[in-house]
Every structure is written in structure tokens, then in C-alpha cells.
Amino acid sequence: MNQESIQPQPVTLPQTGETVEKLIHLALPVRLTHMANGDRGGAEMSCTYDIHPRGARLLSFRNVSVGDLITVERGRNKSMCRVVWTADPNSPLRGQFTVECVDGHRSPWEEELRQMQERYLPITPEGPKKRPVMNSFRKGSENRRRGPRFNVEGGADLLQTGGHSTVEGRVKQISEFGCLISASNLLVAGTSLKLALNIYDVSVALKGSVKYTADNRAMGVEFQEIRQGDRPLLDYVLNQVQKRRLNDFADLEVITEPLNVSTGAAAIEPISLAG
């Protein structure tokens, strides 16, 4: 299975930078046993796309609903999990779902979490002729934007590099190379950070830096690196916001009616051009 073609995890990240470090894009073979009305159903083989201490993102060829209980086995390790998110069947994420462990036992992939570290890759545009774009969220005349910027509503968890506390904010705009975030506590320009953007029920982890602050209410962040495997998810979010903008334009109703001239209005006499 080509992991690069799979949309990355739709996992809602907890509000700590430590958890962002422990969420890993990794394919592990697992065995799923679906529970229905308290009875054990049939088993199927599957794989993880992302793992974290409390659960994972998986794929099933069966119908899965939020609230379903599924036993997840890896080798001799087994855990009862509850489905907390399922993908839209009409989206590229179809068949994917997220589970969280509910029985208090250790997750079946704790050893892998201890052994592996998360990898980040440089942000590069799609396509062989494109080049990385920097400073896509600068203000004023310095803004040399080369990609579309979209209005959006989403959450953002920011962790200053080397810091231990997070800043919570709201994503107001996003592009392929940066975003605009409003927050009560702004970071100064030049601050390096890690951020988790939570948009359309999915999360994408990136590294970047604050390029500017605006009116003490928002800050422009430039993306520099993206978690391995998360590039398809960023593209998914950009496609969704672009589709939403096109739909908003399509919903505009243009009304054309003849001008109602009052009967009391004076007639306009034609001007003769004869000399």
C-alpha cells in the first residue's frame, strides 16, 4: 500500500506540545475485531496510518460508525477501542477512522512509540516547476504572494521551540505556505514554533516561524517544515476551503429587473448632432 497516497491522520491533538511529538505517521499491521451489540463480529486485517499513546488512525472496508467498539490487536498486544471519528465516504479520506483506547490498558504500539521519533520534511510546492515560496504572509507592499490565500475557521495549538507552554489560537486564513492566526497571547516576530492546525475535523502538524504581528490581535506564520505524511492532508484542507469559496460564489443570486421609471419623470430629449 502506497502510504504517500493516503490522506494523513484526522486525529484531534490534545493541548500539549508533548503529544504532538508522540503522534507518529507509521504503518503497522493490526487485526481488527468489530463488536456489534455486545457480540464479537468478524475479524479483518488492517494497518495504522498514525499512532499515538491513546489511539490511532486506521482503515476498514466495513461500515464503521462513531461510538462503535473495536478490538485492535498487534502481535500479543490487544486493546479495546472506541471509534471517535469517521471520514466522509465521498471524500478522499473514505474508509478511514480514528479510535481511542477505552479499557485503560496500554496501546498495542507503545514499543514503537518509544523507539521512533517524529520526522518533519521541508515545505515544498507540488509540481516539478514550482519553487518554495517564502514570506507568503507579509504585510503591505512586501507581500509577494505566489499562492492563493483562503479564509477559514479552525483551531491552532502553538508551541514555541524549546518552550514548555502552548498558545491557543484561531486560524483565520491559510495558504500553502503560511497562515494567519488570532490569539490573545501573541508571539514576537522571529519566534520559531511548532503548530498543530485543526481544520475540518483533521489535524496537520508543522514547524515554522512568526513573520509579523498585526494590531496586537493576529500573527502571520510562515510554514517551513511539515510532518512526514501530512502533506496530503494540507492539500486536502486547501481543496476544501477552495471548494467552499467556489460554492459561496455559486450561491449568489443575481437579480435582473427592468428599471421602473416613474410616470412623473420628465422625458429625456435626444440631442441633435446635425450641424
Domains, the chain: 24-115 (2.40.10.220), 120-251 (2.40.10.220)
pLDDT digits (tens, 9 = 90+) for 96-115: 999 999 877 678 888 887 76
Tell me: the pLDDT tens digits for 63-96?
899 999 999 999 888 999 999 999 888 888 889 9
Rounded CA gap, 19 and 228, in Å? 16
pLDDT at 270: 43
The CA distance from 31 to 90, in Å, is 25
pLDDT at 12: 42
pLDDT score for 129: 43
Alpha-carbon distance 221 to 15, whole Å?
19
**pLDDT for position 4:** 33
Three-state SS at 132 = coil
For residue 168, the model assigns a pLDDT of 92
Which residues of the chain fall below pLDDT 70? Answer: 1-22, 37-39, 105, 115-117, 125-147, 164-165, 247-275
Secondary structure of 51-69 in HEC code, one letter for each residue: EECCEEEEECCCCCCCCCE
Q: Which amino acid is at 124?
A: T
CB contact set of 160 (below 8 Å; sequence gap of 6+): 167, 187, 191, 192, 193
Q: What's the confidence (pLDDT) of residue 227?
A: 87
Strands 69-74 and 55-59: unpaired
